[in-house]
Structure 1
Amino acid sequence: MDGLATKQILDLIGIGIGPFNLGLAALLEKTECNSLFFDKKPRFEWHPGMLIEGTTLQVPFMADAVTMVDPTSRYSFLNYLHEQNRLYQFYFLEKFHIPRNEYNHYCQWIAEQLPQLQFGSEVENIERTKDGYYHVTVYSSSREERKTYVTKHIVMGIGTKPYVPDRFRLANQDRIFHSSEYMNKRRNTRNAKSVTIIGSGQSAAEIFYDLLSKQPDNHYELSWYTRSKGFYPMEYSKLGLEHFTPDYAKYFYQLPKEKKQGVLQNQALLYKGISFSTIADIYDLLYERSVGSNDLNVHLQALTNLVSVEEWNDQFRLSLYQHEQETSISVTTDIVILATGYHPYIPDFLKGIEHLLEWDENGQLLIQEDYKVKTKVEGQNNLFVQNGELHTHGVGAPDLGLGAFRSASIINEIAGEKIYKTYEKNVFQQFGV
């Protein structure tokens, strides 16, 4: 069933309901903005494949959907605790970094209170009319119907998607898979005779620790390879964290574009690497297991690239290359877990307007400082992006701690007034001259 949903012109349509557009929807409560948000998922889920018991956010709880611009909001994490009758338990917990599954439940709690959120609804196409409005075609899987909505503004919050190099994509996806699917395939993984993890970041470390913890019950061989120089910690010093602020985003945005990629590469440990606590947990467990010269049946190796994977006698044969020694090795394993990160992508629904948008030489959208996508139609760039501006705004783009600020900036721009107070100076250091 197709049709025009309504003659009413919406102020805003949000595409994707992850933490950032969820926060935007919550913060819109202080405005008269008429909005709808769509996501093809049946409900809010934040990285469900990585909700491993004992894992925490890597940012303080204040990086919730609203607090950094509106600490009095009823959608704050502290009010969530109050409504859940958990304030005293959290008070005695005395931790800034909350369990990851609690953050997911907090976001679901917000989503249940916002009627403008429509899950099970996939945006299929966007077109721009001569009068400057967007026509957004949405398919609802639950109602099995397709409707077109009209809006003045769009905010894309589709995030990134799991990245697996093409040469590692094999037919047997139950036994070679991306880390984002780990919890769905953990039982099968624990029943294998050998498991190999590829990658060097937090996801790889959490999966390794989870499997290491259960190894005595299942007796699998456990291996972990990374091309990085070592199993290094993420930079988490207080002055280093000031890179995840509006101040640094402003500084980075103003850098010449030919410098930006090099700067990001040199800052890898600001947003990649492993937390100190996870590294300590892994080491402590390895130490305890090795008492009495016990055989750990564990292999950790850095400086080693995965070159190729092939199916071999109901296993996988991995070709690896130690790039300092310039030596190739071959190993076999039952399960391969690829903690190969996430990449931004251009969604198919932009095809209807892609000719109006400005792109850089790498095929990425050009994003203005106010998070609008640059367009070829002067004065008609009312398409905003959340967490798609790493290449233009720097390392803070995917950070939860900047989400509320970015949402507030977008709301202030759309409303034409300062609904939310933001500050010019948030750090002690100065990033530029």
Structure 2
Amino acid sequence: MEPITRKSELSFLNDMVPHTQPQSGRSVLRPAGSDEMHDLLCVGFGPASLAIGIALNDAMDPALNTLKNPDFKPKVCFLEKQSQFAWHSGMLVPGSRMQISFMKDLATLREPRSSFTFLNYLHHKKRLVHFTNLGTFLPARMEFEDYMRWCAMRFEKVVNYGEEVIEVIPGPTNARGVVEFFTVVSRNTGTGELSSRNSRKVVIALGGKAKMPPGFPQDPRILHSSKYCTQLPQLLNDDLAPYNIAVVGSGQSAAEIYHDLHRRYPNSRTTLILRDTALRPSDDSPFVNEIFNPERIDKFYGLSAEERQKRIATDRATNYGVVRLELIEAIYNDMYMQRVENPDETQWQQRILAETKVARIEHHNASKRMRIHVKSVNNQSEHKEVLDVDALMVATGYQRDAHEDLLQSVRGLRPVGATGWNPGRDYRVSLDAAKVSDQAGIWLQGCNEKTHGLSDSLLSVLAVRGGEIVSSVFADQLAGAPLVQDTRVRAML
């Protein structure tokens, strides 16, 4: 394909980039002191909360929208445990690419004119034409993380890094016995000092917690995949050493780590342990991929709980325990070349043990290797093997239930008979209107797969979802805000 060099084509690309705001600069969001009443407080400042900040910033941009109230200047705060913005820093594997189009960034699908689009980022970095010449919709994962960090830098005035939220508490009741705000308690990760902030609206967007298989011992040499790029190089600090390394898992992260280990440690012996019969390709074909379209959330939310469960099981191969086909082919090619050189698989540097599981781990002292006993998942008497390894990488996914601990003190405000947190279509959890003011509320992000579908924990819908939540939180101030479902429960009269 001929590279884009003609002046008219360059002008066309530049015209696609929004100029409604400075290409770089501060957000228009207003910071508030810790002793002030906040209009919105977001717990966590990863991609989900960042998308909310961007959507709110765009909603207040007079070049994009007209506010019902021109004096609308909400007091907003984001609390983030990490010391700076980071997105899966432990899995920024060299050469890894995004699995979604760059147009599913934090703004484009909601508002293509936003100054927070990936295209505007490229324009600001003076790489727009160069990226176009790549001929791909899939940027490097490292570049997309840099794009999100570029967006996050514009919100520094309203983000408090190094603050780990430990509890959300209902504020005192008014004369009618109704809660009008919530108190968010956080701990400074550096000093241990506790802080409290009051907010009428609270969004919980904590992301996932690393999930380890039950029975695995606590050992610094057993690392979750989320720590691959950050902690494994510290543990195994000699790039040329003949390490033995095992990987557990059958999804994209496990395959990426397994494939990268030989590049990182060329003299190592690596073993991939998976319960399935083989690495399976993800289904990202066009029709199937439409399950990640933002409008599909409406349809999924309207299904019964039983039908939702069936849909998630049917579409599981789009996201769980699957690997992009090109990576599978690269791994297979490596295996084949080993077979050409030596037909004895036990002598290969890179091995895959399919239909196996870790039976037990003997973790010796630090001067010795760990001993991993693996066995067949089907027949207890066959395929037993012992691996002595210097490190074990565990790629078994994430748990998304951190909100349960944070909201312990809010449980008493749920509707009578409620046994869980029931989010409405607008992600606002059901609270008893006889106990909570309609000006106060809690929204959940990234933990609603059962009610909102497989896209809930992914990047695909963040731009649109951020706008939906902003519309739900600030419906009274935003012109043209779409109607949102009121999830509060009215007391019976």
Decide which of 294, 315, 320 is 2:374's aligned counterpart.
320
Question: What is the CA-CA distance between 1:75 and the residue it aligns to?
Answer: 1.1
Hey, what does 1:426 align to over in structure 2? none
The answer on whether the counterparts of 1:390 and 1:397 sit within 8 Å (CA) in structure 2 is: yes
The answer on whether the counterparts of 1:405 and 1:422 sit within 8 Å (CA) in structure 2 is: no
Q: CA separation in 2, counterparts of 1:244 and 1:18?
A: 20
Alignment partner of 1:196 is 2:246: yes
Between 1:290-299 and 1:204-213, the stretch displaced more is 290-299
Hey, what does 2:9 align to over in structure 1? none
Q: Kindly tell me: are residues 103 and 420 of structure 1, through their superposed partners in 2, closer, same or farther at Cα, counting changes over 3 Å?
A: farther
Unaligned runs of 5+ in 2: 1-31, 61-71, 174-178, 484-493
Q: CA separation in 1, counterparts of 2:468 and 2:229?
A: 36
Structure 1 or 2: more strand by fraction: 1
Hey, what does 1:285 align to over in structure 2? 334
The C-alpha deviation readout for 1:215-243, integer Å capped at 9, x for no partner, is: 5x32x221111112320011110001011
Hey, what does 2:37 align to over in structure 1? 9
Hey, what does 1:260 align to over in structure 2? 308
Hey, what does 1:427 align to over in structure 2? none
Alignment partner of 1:355 is 2:405: no
Q: CA separation in 1, counterparts of 2:45 and 2:421?
A: 20
Q: CA separation in 1, counterparts of 2:425 and 2:414?
A: 16
The C-alpha deviation readout for 1:24-67, integer Å capped at 9, x for no partner, is: 11111123332111101100111111111101111111121111
Structure 2 residue identity aligned to 1:323 = V
The answer on whether the counterparts of 2:475 and 2:481 sit within 8 Å (CA) in structure 1 is: no
The C-alpha deviation readout for 1:322-355, integer Å capped at 9, x for no partner, is: 2344545131221211111111123433232233
Alignment partner of 1:152 is 2:195: no
Structure 2 residue identity aligned to 1:316 = M
- Which structure 2 residues correspond to residues 269-418 of structure 1 after superposition, within 5 A? 269-272=317-320, 273-293=322-342, 296-312=348-364, 314-328=368-382, 329-334=384-389, 335-347=391-403, 348-357=405-414, 365-378=421-434, 380=437, 382-416=441-475
Q: CA separation in 2, counterparts of 1:126 and 1:401?
A: 29
Per the alignment, in what secondary structure is the counterpart of residue 253 of structure 2? helix
Question: What is the CA-CA distance between 1:320 and the residue it aligns to?
Answer: 2.6
The C-alpha deviation readout for 1:283-330, integer Å capped at 9, x for no partner, is: 233334554447633221222222322225823332333234454513
Q: CA separation in 2, counterparts of 1:408 and 1:185?
A: 36
Q: Kindly tell me: are residues 229 and 20 of structure 1, through their superposed partners in 2, closer, same or farther at Cα, counting changes over 3 Å?
A: same
The answer on whether the counterparts of 1:197 and 1:224 sit within 8 Å (CA) in structure 2 is: yes
Task: Report the RMSD for the aligned CA atoms in angstroms.
Answer: 2.7
The C-alpha deviation readout for 1:103-130, integer Å capped at 9, x for no partner, is: 1111111111112122112223222222
Hey, what does 1:182 align to over in structure 2? 228
Q: CA separation in 1, counterparts of 2:160 and 2:34?
A: 16
Hey, what does 1:92 align to over in structure 2? 133
Structure 2 residue identity aligned to 1:154 = V
Identical columns (%)? 26
Q: CA separation in 2, counterparts of 1:359 and 1:80?
A: 48
Hey, what does 1:20 align to over in structure 2? 48
Q: Kindly tell me: are residues 157 and 192 of structure 1, through their superposed partners in 2, closer, same or farther at Cα, counting changes over 3 Å?
A: farther
Q: Kindly tell me: are residues 356 and 319 of structure 1, through their superposed partners in 2, closer, same or farther at Cα, counting changes over 3 Å?
A: farther
Hey, what does 2:10 align to over in structure 1? none
Q: Kindly tell me: are residues 5 and 91 of structure 1, through their superposed partners in 2, closer, same or farther at Cα, counting changes over 3 Å?
A: closer
Alignment partner of 1:124 is 2:124: no
Between 1:238-247 and 1:317-326, the stretch displaced more is 317-326
Structure 2 residue identity aligned to 1:106 = Y
Per the alignment, in what secondary structure is the counterpart of residue 151 of structure 2? helix
Hey, what does 1:169 align to over in structure 2? 217
Decide which of 111, 115, 124 is 1:83's aligned counterpart.
124
Q: CA separation in 2, counterparts of 1:18 and 1:419?
A: 27
Q: Kindly tell me: are residues 263 and 85 of structure 1, through their superposed partners in 2, closer, same or farther at Cα, counting changes over 3 Å?
A: same
Paired residues in the alignment total 416
Q: Kindly tell me: are residues 145 and 315 of structure 1, through their superposed partners in 2, closer, same or farther at Cα, counting changes over 3 Å?
A: closer
Unaligned runs of 5+ in 1: 424-433
Q: CA separation in 2, counterparts of 1:345 and 1:357?
A: 17
Decide which of 81, 86, 95 is 1:54's aligned counterpart.
95
The answer on whether the counterparts of 2:122 and 2:128 sit within 8 Å (CA) in structure 1 is: yes
